[in-house]
Amino acid sequence: MSRKGWRSPKEVRIADVARIAGVSTATVSRVLASPDKVRQKTRDLVLEAVRQCGYTPNSVARNLRKRRTMTALVVVPNLANPVFAQILRGIDEELTQSGYGLVIGSLDNCEDREARYVELALSRQVDGVILMNGRIPEGNKRTMREAGLPMVAMCAAIDDDKIPNVVVQDREASRAAVEYLVQLGHRRLGYIAGPPSNIIAAERLAGFLEGIAEAGLSEKDFVKWDGRFVFSAGVAAAEAFLKLKDRPTGVYATSDESAIGFIKVVRAAGVRVPEDVSVIGFDGIEFADYVEPTLTTFRQPLHDLGRKGAAVLLKMIHKQMQPGDWNIRLPLELLERDTTRAIPDGTRKASRQGRGKPHLVSH
């Protein structure tokens, strides 16, 4: 019961256990790491000693010796964004399953905080890094790569064949969003963009423009509003929308949040959704199903994305990369809900009416 004469419990070392059990530190270490290499009797002796003084190995020392930390760093732009939160859950799950830990580095939209995380990685505190922010300065990226640090990019296709990519098919889904609206009979579209500097936003814009071209539409047939993937961007877009005389009948918002902001404001101004304007979002966050009317959107396979990303990182760490691992692009799923509908007298090509089964976007 009493522990007099001992170090404070927080400072029990392997040597203390060894002394109590009457064996060497090597044996204690073995009991804990590979019990089958130690005779039963000795093992029991050691385990009893461990129990008695409440020993937990110091993993800082272990990490130093083993030259690895069993931990990965994930750099995200923003913790408050539910999209990242979901991806993180997937990552966490995959890593945990393999005995790895996770350090989350949130930039909180301050790009300069990145330096700290780069240092964390470079100083060997983690075994690998997953990048989810669109804009890692080239310098940092190169430094880390040269340091031989396993890395995975989950922001957007990075044109660097040393860094594997795990992303969703932003471009394809964007194109499909246009196609979907056009099929419903919409000929005049609105586009709520992401931040111009963001790689993902650029991908989605490219897809949108491809869709426009494929539908035989031109620049005159759509309005584009800049945004930042957030609620307020949708609000701003809606305000611009309301001022137009020739309003779009179909709006594609590149994030659910901005779609929700848009809908809220136009409805407050008496514009009905979907009767007067159809809106389709992007992300598939939970709240998209909570709002009224429920939001039609492309669902990102966030959880899966996270798991795949982490899986690739682990392969990278264990040097088991295979050809197919370098460029993974997951499909999105169209969730047809209540903010979109066909123009009654429109000249629709397809006859998909009302609620259909969600369909998968293929490459």
Partner DNA sequence: TCGATTTTTGTAATCGATTACATCTTGAGA
Partner DNA sequence: TCTCAAGATGTAATCGATTACAAAAATCGA
| Residues found near a second copy in the complex (CB under 8 A) | 8-10, 54, 56-61, 63-64, 69, 79-80, 82, 85-86, 88-89, 92-93, 96, 101-104, 106, 108, 113, 116, 119-120, 122-125, 143, 146-149, 231, 260-261, 264, 267-268, 286-287, 290-292
Shortest Å, Cβ 108 to DNA? 28
Partner whose binding site includes residue 142, from a second copy, DNA, none (CB under 5 to 8 Å by kind): none
Partner whose binding site includes residue 195, from DNA, a second copy, none (CB under 5 to 8 Å by kind): none
Type of residue found at 93: E
For DNA, the binding residue among 3, 6, 9, 26 (CB under 7 A) is: 26
Partner whose binding site includes residue 53, from DNA, a second copy, none (CB under 5 to 8 Å by kind): none
Distances (CA, A) of 363 to 57, 180, 218, 228, 313: 49, 16, 24, 26, 23
Largest CA distance in the chain: 89
Binding piece for DNA, criterion CB under 7 A, among 55-63, 136-144, 185-193, 261-269: 55-63
Q: Which of residues 237-296 bind DNA (CB under 7 A)?
A: none
Shortest Å, Cβ 136 to DNA? 24
CB-CB contact of 155 with 132 (8 Å): yes
Partner whose binding site includes residue 112, from DNA, a second copy, none (CB under 5 to 8 Å by kind): none
- Identify the sign of the CA torsion 341, 343, 345, 346: negative
Shortest Å, Cβ 55 to DNA? 7
Residue listed under structure tokens 């399953």:
97
Partner whose binding site includes residue 42, from a second copy, DNA, none (CB under 5 to 8 Å by kind): DNA
Residue 213 half-sphere exposure toward CB, CA atoms < 13 A: 6
Burial of 311 (0-12, 13-18, 19+ CB in 10 A): buried
Shortest Å, Cβ 315 to DNA? 21
Partner whose binding site includes residue 86, from DNA, a second copy, none (CB under 5 to 8 Å by kind): a second copy
Residue 15 sits in the site that holds DNA (CB under 7 A): yes
CA 57/CA 63 separation, integer angstroms: 11
Which distant-in-sequence residues (6+ apart) come within 8 Å of 131 by Cβ?
A: 75, 141, 151, 152, 153, 154, 155
- Distance from the first to the final alpha carbon of the chain: 66
Q: Looking at beta carbons only, is 52 or 183 nearer to a second copy?
A: 52
Q: Which residues pair with residue 151 across a beta bridge? A: 129
R_g (Cα) of the chain, nearest Å: 27
Residue 64 sits in the site that holds DNA (CB under 7 A): yes
Residue 11 sits in the site that holds DNA (CB under 7 A): yes
What number of chain residues touch DNA (CB under 7 A)? 29
Tokens representing 163 are: 């860094």
Tokens representing 22 are: 């009457």
Binding site for DNA (CB under 7 A): 11, 13-15, 22-27, 29-30, 32-33, 37-39, 41-43, 55, 57-58, 61-62, 64-67
